[in-house]
Structure 1
Amino acid sequence: MTDEPVHVIRKLEQALADDDFAWSLLLVGEDQTDKLATLTGDLRGPFSTTGDGKQITSGFSYWGIGPTIAWANATNDPFYLVMKAGAESFLRHWRKIRPHVDKGGFHFVSLGVGTGVKDRTILGDLYRQNRNMFYIPVDMSSEMLRMGTLEPVRGARFPMAQVLPVQIDFSISDNVDELGQMLSRLVGDDPLLYTLTGNTLANFESDQELLATITRVLRPQDRLLLEVASTSSLDQEAANAAADEYHQTRAFAEFVTSALRYNTDLKIDNERIDFRGEVEDDDALLVKIVWQNNTGKPITMGLPDHTEVVLEPDDTILLYTTRKFSTERLKKLTVACDLTPIEHAHSGFRYTRRPSPFGLDLLLLAPGAAKETVNTLADDIWAR
């Protein structure tokens, strides 16, 4: 009779247990050549003066070591006031949310790990309640995963043997379906806390489509923690002010142009970067950050596959999209996706001398099929 073979994952865990080298494990879910082909195709889009042709879609803004470093630099810039306000308000908001997940025995799935600062807070609290939990950070960028998981794991003194970083584009529905199935096999019937913080929902072309994609894999026992930027004003003046927030920091401009800088041969000049605010569907403020050929003559841009595309005068490349949501927009989104608000925290921006219509909201949401025993605050949330 022979002994059962020891699986490679278990052997690897043992091999790395006492090694102080900066190893990190990563479960890769996509062929990176496919992602490069997608980026190249997006940069061949049609002519547009409004940012509706050529584009860098959301995940590609953070894809690769150059954009990852640029993002880290931007988040540490004290002039990036949106990020600063978010970091300052999150702990206060999370304290209000935390009692609803404290005793649930949740595992933690972080969609879009970012710098990991907010994950550190959540992970530390969840780990105190469930020492056997798993932490599953998910991002399209493997470099972002490596950088973003260090902060929460070290800060919460969380065991690396219970961390599973997953490289996957969670804006693709098939990917999320596969992720949900894998996680169900991993944790069984244990509940999962999915998080989408940092106003990540606002970065996608269709916020409702992304939210519906994520919601579809939520089981009745699972929860979704959603953080968004909000606004109480929906006029052009507010839209311009929203755009100006991102225009105030050079580090953010370096970040939003980094994907172009590292994936094309286009010479980046910040004078060609335009921050455009508009009212979207009468219930949100939309900010588009575009590169525009304002030279009056064609520019030839080399692409990653060694082909070229001609950028005619006034042609644009959409670099980044973000939004601020009204209460009505949030209500529409949660209703359309059959999500029930369980708890909600809101705070307004405090860094301006004049009153600001802008703020940040943190919502704990349950799928519509959830058997929630506590009274929800849905009516109060949408009545404010």
Structure 2
Amino acid sequence: MTDEPVHVIRKLEQALRDDDFAWSLMLVGEDQTDKLATLTGDLRGPHSETGDGKQITSGFSYWGIGPTIAWSNATNDPFYLVMKAGAESFLRHWRKVRPHTDRTGFHFVSLGVGTGVKDRTILADMYRKNRDMFYIPVDMSSEMLRMGTLEPVRGLGFPMAQVLPVQLDFSIADNMSELGQMLARLVGDEPILFTLTGNTLANFESDLELLGTITRILRPQDRLLLEVASTSSLDQTAADAAADEYQQTRAFAEFVTSALRYNTDLRIEDGLIDYRGEVETDDALLVKIVWQNNTSESMTMGLPDHTEVTLKPNDTILLYTTRKFSTERLKKITSECGLTAIEHAHSGFRYARRPSPFGLDLLLLAPEGAEIPNLLAEDIWSQ
């Protein structure tokens, strides 16, 4: 009788344990050629002067090594005051939310890992409470996963054997269903804290659809940590100010055009990039950043499949979408998704000389069926 063979994953864990080379172990959930075909198709959209035709959808803004580096540079730019304010407020907000996660040992699933700085804050506290926890960052960009995972894991000495980066577009319902099933097999009935930080919810065409897609895989014992940008004003002046925030730094301009720069041969010039703010459905501020052919001549854009698209005068390509949410919008979308607020932290932006209507909110949410003792939901929203 022979001994049972050692599983390859266990052997790999042993092989890498004492190796200081920068290895990354990743679970790839999608065919990258399919993603390239999707991007190419989106860039063949119809003519539009409003950014509703050709587009680079949210995940593709960070997809590939060029956009990943550009995003990292933008987040480290001291002139990108919105990002700086977000980083400073997150620690205060998390301290208010954290006691609700201390009572039970959670696993940690980070949707949209970013630079990993916020994940490091969360992981440091959660690991002290549950030494057997898993950390599972999820992102469409494998390059972003590698960069963003190093910050929380290597910085804390978190065991690599308990880290599983997953390359997956979590905005696709079928992908999230498969992820939920895999996680249930991995952790059993143990609770999971899912996080969607950095105002990522605001980057998608339908915030309600994305939130619903995530909510459908939550079990009663799970929780969702949601961070969004907020506003107390809903007029065109505020919308223009929201758009103006993103024009203050050269590094952000480099990031927002990077997906177009690395996937096409289109001419990229500052004068062709337009930052547009508008009031959306009377409960949010919507910012669209578009490339527009504001010349009198048609332009030709080469695509990744070696075909070309003609861009007539005033045609646009939507590069980036973001929002600032009102309290009413947050109440509406969380209610429609069956989510209940357990804790809510808010702070206003303090970097402007004049009073600003803008701020950041961190919400800890529970799905339907969760046991939440002594909860007054309306009091949570009034904080």
TM-score range normalised by the length of the shorter chain: over 0.9
| Separation (CA, whole Å) in 1 of partners of 2:235 and 2:203 | 20
The answer on 1:351 being equivalent to 2:351 is: yes
Aligned to 2:79: 79
SS in structure 2 at match of 1:153: helix
SS at match of 1:79: coil
Letter of the aligned partner of 1:357 in structure 2? P
State the alpha-carbon separation in 2 of the partners of residues 75 and 212 from structure 1: 28
Matches within 5 A, 1:42-57: 42-57=42-57
Distance in 1 (CA, whole Å) between partners of 2:311 and 2:380 is 46
Tell me the equivalent position of 2:258: 258
Residue 7 of structure 1 corresponds to 7
What do the CA deviations read for 1:133-187 (whole angstroms, capped 9, x no partner)? Answer: 0000000000000000000012222011100000000000000000000000000
What corresponds to 2:308 in structure 1? 308
1:343/1:376 contact within 8 Å kept: no
- Which residue does the alignment assign to 2:242? 242
Whole-angstrom distance in 2 between the partners of 1:155 and 1:222: 26
Distance 2:246 2:107 in 1: 34
Taking the aligned partners of 1:356 and 1:274, their CA distance within structure 2 comes to: 23
Q: Distance in 2 between matches of 1:74 and 1:381?
A: 33
Partner of 1:30: 30
Q: How far is the alpha carbon of 1:378 from its aligned partner?
A: 1.8
Contact kept? 2:342, 2:380, Cα under 8 Å: no
| Distance in structure 1 (CA, Å) of the matches to 2:88 and 2:252 | 19
Contact in 2 for aligned 1:86/1:198 (Cα 8 Å): yes
Quick one: distance in 2 between partners of 1:377 and 1:94? 20
Q: 1:175-194 to 2 correspondence within 5 Å?
A: 175-194=175-194
Residue identity in the other structure for 1:81: L
Judge which range, 77-86 or 54-63, deviates more.
77-86
Q: Distance in 1 between matches of 2:282 and 2:113?
A: 31
- Residues 81-160 of structure 1 mapped to structure 2, 5 A cutoff: 81-160=81-160
1:94 aligned partner, one-letter code = W
Q: Name the count of aligned residue pairs.
A: 383
Q: Compute the displacement of 1:382 (Å).
A: 3.2
In 2, the alpha carbon distance for the partners of 1:286 and 1:381 equals: 25
Paired position in structure 2 for 1:365? 365
The alignment yields a C-alpha RMSD, in angstroms, of: 0.7
| Alignment correspondent of 2:379 | 380
Which whole-Å CA distance do the structure 1 matches of 2:139 and 2:235 have between them? 34
Once the two structures are TM-superposed, the CA of residue 376 in structure 1 deviates from its matched residue by 2.5
TM-score normalized with structure 2 length: 0.99
Shift of 1:102: 1.0
TM-score when normalising by structure 1 = 0.99
| Alpha-carbon shift at residue 380 of structure 1 (Å) | 1.6
One-letter amino acid of the structure 2 residue matched with residue 247 of structure 1: Q
3-state SS of the aligned residue for 1:356?
Answer: coil
SS of the equivalent of 1:363 reads strand
Listed one character per residue, the Cα deviations across residues 248-292 of structure 1 (whole Å, up to 9, x for unaligned) are: 111001000000000001121111000000000000000000000
Which consecutive residues of structure 2, in runs of 5 or more, have no partner in the other structure?
none
Q: Deviations over 1:81-135 (max 9, x none)?
A: 1100000000000000000001211000000000000000000000000000000
SS at match of 1:229: strand
Counterpart amino acid of 1:97? V
C-alpha contact (below 8 Å) 2:105/2:133 kept by paired residues: yes
- Aligned equivalents of 2:254, 2:214: Cα separation in 1: 30
Q: Which amino acid aligns with 1:96?
A: K
CA distance in 2, matches of 1:383, 1:256: 35
Distance in 2 between the 1:109 and 1:341 partners? 19
**Deviation (angstroms), 1:377:** 4.4
Letter in 1 for 2:380: I
SS in 2 for 1:267: coil
Tell whether 2:270 aligns with 1:267.
no
CA distance in 2, matches of 1:20, 1:235: 54
Instruction: Give yes or no for contact 1:228–1:361 (8 Å, CA) kept in 2.
Output: yes
* Uncovered stretches (5+) of structure 1, i.e. residues with no partner: none
Cα deviation, residue 364, structure 1: 0.1
Paired-residue identity, %: 85
Amino acid of the structure 2 residue aligned with 1:305: D
- Indicate conservation of the 8 Å contact 1:111/1:137, yes or no: yes
Judge conservation of contact 2:344–2:381 (CA < 8 Å) in 1.
Answer: no
| 8 Å contact kept, 1:342–1:378 | yes
1:63 paired residue number: 63
Alpha-carbon displacement from aligned partner over 1:170-214 (angstroms, at most 9, x marks no partner): 000000000000000000000000000000000000000000000
- 1:170 alignment counterpart: 170
Read off the aligned partner of 1:220 and give its amino acid letter: P
Distance in 1 between residues matched to 2:280 and 2:68, nearest whole Å: 29
SS state at 1:101 partner: helix
Shift of 1:336: 0.4
Aligned to 1:337: 337
Q: 1:341 touches 1:377 (CA, 8 Å); kept in 2?
A: no
The equivalent of 2:19 in structure 1 is: 19
Q: Distance in 2 between matches of 1:242 and 1:177?
A: 35
1:22-77, Cα deviation, whole Å (9 max, x unpaired):
00100000000000000000000000000000000000000000000000000001
Measured in 2, the distance between the counterparts of 1:198 and 1:360 equals 9
Specify the alignment match of 1:219 in structure 2: 219
Tell me, in whole angstroms, the C-alpha distance in 1 between the residues paired with 2:355 and 2:181: 46
